[in-house]
């Protein structure tokens, strides 16, 4: 009687165990392939990753907490500030840092090689405070020589209550932008989330709109009418955008992606009505976008993805997906993003390791370094990760 009772109690558990073991990608198999998490050098929720060139060396900058880090060819350096870093940006001349401190919210430096170091390479930053008045700066975005500032408050009615300002070139004054070509109805200002340049064309992206200007005229921007509005009114079509990027051309075409994982091409003339590609698994976009370039100049577009909950039959819900960019660098070769490691070309050589490492983490930003072509990711809560050789094999893990 006692044995029968024990059998009835443990039989369902045994069934569940053997069910998972027999699955194509069981939880136990995924856990077995998961590399031990390295303690991250840069923990928390890092900012975006940006490049800055100093004497023919391209440094990558990123911040987390109150610390700014910079990287070149496996060497990291850092410095701390008195308050948390909200965002960073790199124009052609300056590194800009947005702090939480109201009295010193926006600072910048023109990084130079420190001559006192002799033959050793060290970088010198002389920080300068930029007066932002009553603006509560949330996001800063670089476009060539110019910096765009997205804030809670603006500088007045000149910008039609559009909460975007700019700093032109080497100037120190913050000026409102002039906004034109507004839709007939439905327009509501929102925070900028991204910026992309193609040639002299500059595209600014918010969650519900895209704007266009040129690098020579940064203070005047125009609303890019959505060509899906066939009545010609330019009425707002809220695509719920999450990111924007230049795939590598100078012809005035960029990519934008929305929350549902649909990829669009954008020009100053408007958004093309139909998406050129989409996620194949029904998951959503985080807005993370990066162009990964191989040695033969073949390029992949990487897009961060997210989901709600944990899917036992896939073992992961996050990471990123990939799609090949065409030779003109204005479109893509297929209409579906693919899983890294499933088929070539890919940024990774082992799908299982991808699933059990970066695939378990939401990715806010992706970036390939210029110094050694390494791929880095800013995760949502677990710091900066990188894809490099560890324990004699390539793997994703926290950057140590």
Parse the chain into domains and list their residue ranges.
Answer: 41-176, 179-273, 276-400
Per DSSP, which regions of 100-240 are E strands?
106-109, 112-113, 123-124, 128-130, 137-143, 146-151, 164-167, 175-176, 178-180, 192-198, 201-206, 210-214, 220-223
Beta carbons within 8 Å of 18's beta carbon, 6+ residues apart: none
Least confident of 61-65, 145-149, 244-248, 276-280: 276-280
Considering the segment(s) 41-176 as one domain, its CATH architecture is: 7 Propeller (2.130)
Instruction: For 152-174, write each residue's pLDDT tens digit.
Output: 865 444 444 578 999 999 999 99
Burial class (CB in 10 A: 0-12, 13-18, 19+), 38: middle
CA distance 174 to 102: 15
Q: 178-180 and 220-223 as β-strands: parallel, antiparallel, unpaired?
A: parallel
pTM of the model as a whole: 0.88
Residue 169: partners with Cβ closer than 8 Å, 6 or more residues away: 93, 145, 146
pLDDT at 120: 82
Strand order in the sheet with 320-324: 284-293, 299-306, 320-324
* pLDDT tens digits for range 198-236: 999 999 999 888 999 999 999 999 989 887 765 555 555
- Confidence category of residue 278, pLDDT binned at 50, 70, 90: very high
- CA 366 – CA 400 distance, rounded (Å): 17
For the record, the structure tokens of 82 come out as 């008195």
Task: Give tens-digit pLDDT for 170-192.
Answer: 999 999 998 888 776 666 777 89
Mean of pLDDT values over 89-110: 95
Q: How far apart are CA 293 and CA 373, in angstroms?
A: 8
Q: What's the angle, vertex CA 215, arms to CA 377 and CA 135, rounded to 5?
A: 70
Per DSSP, 103 falls in state G
Side-chain-side CA neighbours of residue 99 (13 Å): 21
Q: How far apart are CA 267 and CA 225, in angstroms?
A: 10
116 versus 367: the higher-pLDDT residue is 367
Question: Residue 160's pLDDT is what?
Answer: 43
Sign for the pseudo-dihedral over CA of 392, 32, 317, 39: negative
């Amino acid at each position: 009687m006692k044995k029968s009772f024990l059998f009835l109690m443990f039989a369902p558990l045994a069934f569940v165990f053997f069910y998972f073991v027999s699955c194509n990608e069981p939880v136990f198999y995924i856990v077995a392939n998961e590399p031990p998490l390295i303690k991250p050098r840069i923990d928390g929720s890092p900012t975006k990753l940006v490049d800055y060139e100093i004497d023919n060396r391209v440094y990558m900058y990123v911040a987390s907490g109150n610390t700014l880090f910079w990287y070149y060819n496996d060497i990291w350096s850092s410095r701390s500030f008195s308050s948390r870093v909200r965002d960073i940006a790199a124009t052609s001349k300056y590194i800009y840092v947005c702090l939480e401190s109201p009295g010193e919210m926006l600072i910048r430096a023109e990084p130079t090689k420190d001559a006192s170091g002799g033959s050793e390479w060290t970088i010198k930053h002389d920080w300068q405070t930029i007066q932002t008045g009553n603006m509560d700066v949330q996001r800063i975005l670089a476009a060539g020589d110019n910096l765009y500032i997205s804030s809670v408050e603006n500088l007045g009615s000149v910008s039609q209550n559009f909460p975007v300002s700019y700093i032109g070139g080497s100037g120190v004054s913050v000026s409102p932008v002039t906004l034109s070509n507004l839709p007939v109805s439905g327009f509501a200002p929102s925070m900028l989330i991204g910026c992309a340049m193609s040639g002299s064309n500059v595209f600014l992206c918010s969650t519900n709109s895209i704007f266009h200007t040129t690098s020579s005229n940064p203070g005047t921007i125009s609303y890019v009418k959505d060509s899906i509005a066939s009545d010609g009114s330019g009425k707002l079509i809220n695509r719920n955008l999450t990111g924007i990027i230049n795939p590598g051309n100078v012809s005035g075409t960029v990519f934008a992606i929305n929350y549902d994982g649909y990829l669009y091409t954008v020009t100053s003339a408007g958004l093309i009505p139909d998406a050129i590609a989409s996620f194949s698994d029904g998951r959503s976009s985080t807005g993370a976008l990066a162009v990964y370039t191989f040695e033969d100049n073949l390029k992949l577009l990487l897009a961060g993805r997210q989901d709600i909950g944990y899917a036992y039959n896939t073992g992961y819900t996050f990471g990123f997906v990939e799609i090949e960019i065409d030779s003109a660098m204005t479109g893509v070769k297929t209409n579906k993003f693919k899983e890294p490691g499933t088929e070539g070309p890919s940024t990774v050589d082992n799908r299982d390791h991808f699933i059990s490492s970066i695939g378990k983490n939401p990715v806010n930003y992706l970036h390939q370094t210029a110094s050694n072509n390494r791929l880095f990711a800013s995760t949502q809560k677990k710091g900066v990760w990188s894809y490099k050789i560890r324990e004699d094999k390539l793997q994703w893990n926290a950057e140590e």
